[in-house]
Copies of this chain bind each other. A is one copy, B any other.
Amino acid sequence: MQSRTPHHLDDQKFAAKELRALCRSGSYAGPTSGLADGNVQANLMIVPREYAFDFLLFCQRNPKPCPLVEVLEAGMFEARSAAGSDIRTDLGAYRIYEHGQLQREVSDICEIWNTCGPDGLVSFLLGCSFSFEAALVEAGVPLRHIQQKKNVAMYRSSIPCVPAGRFDGNMVVSMRPVKCSDIAKTVEVSARFPHVHGAPVHIGNPVTIGIQDLASPDYGDAVDIADDELPVFWACGVTPQYVAELSKLPFCISHAPGKMFVTDLWTADVYD
């Protein structure tokens, strides 16, 4: 094992595969934002087989918060979108939930996977906002949480998702402050990415979507909003995780926040 870290990977074409290998070997377990630039990164949700149809249906009915990048067949752990990958080892860290409660964080899930039998678990890869954020920045819309190296602010809204089977709950939304003069452009640019949350779900009035205090996000970090800015809200990929918690699945697994599954897909191929 060389002492290279992902930050030294300058051949972008190779970075995704190598980054997965570094996670697999335990050499890297940090956040993936900004690494393997240009590759699609995905949220991970793993549910027991008996809930897989309902969860897939939930995603199908709620494409804005749950944009599917890929769904693996029961028991499969190599993603089609990442040749040679192993979904059980190739993320920095995993979170194990039981009956809606976070139990622990682990660095791989091979043992749990085996306990569940050869086709006991179904893995879902869901689009994350890194892709459209890069496009916004490129279009000249600065994003404060990136400038301030914070996690984006996320809130449990009062916007209901369409229920499916046992999955039911409100949408989690992310918020980014945008200059009033940039809001139209922000809508246009993000609408170009229907597979990663798409256009905003709400602009300007947090109270009407059940958010009382922007300074107290439910996930991530608060950021200030300037006088010439409005809060812009997008459907957020934390929604499926939140709804899985609410529905008290006996058991499910997700990626640890910020430690995404890095696919071989190119953002430009998938989203442009």
How many copies of the chain does the oligomer comprise? 2
Which one, B57, B61, B73, B80, contacts A165 given CB within 8 A? B73
When distances are taken between beta carbons in the complex, the residues of chain B under 8 Å from A80 are 162
Q: Beyond A53-B56, A73-B164, A80-B162, list 15 extra A-B contacts (CB 8 Å).
A: A49-B53, A52-B53, A53-B53, A53-B74, A53-B122, A54-B73, A56-B56, A56-B57, A57-B71, A57-B73, A60-B68, A60-B71, A61-B71, A73-B165, A74-B165
Residue pairs across A and B with Cβ atoms less than 8 A apart, 20 shown, are A49-B53, A52-B53, A53-B53, A53-B56, A53-B74, A53-B122, A54-B73, A56-B56, A56-B57, A56-B60, A57-B71, A57-B73, A60-B60, A60-B68, A60-B71, A61-B71, A73-B164, A73-B165, A74-B165, A80-B162
A→B interface (CB under 8 Å) = 49, 52-54, 56-57, 60-61, 68, 71, 73-74, 80, 122, 162, 164-165
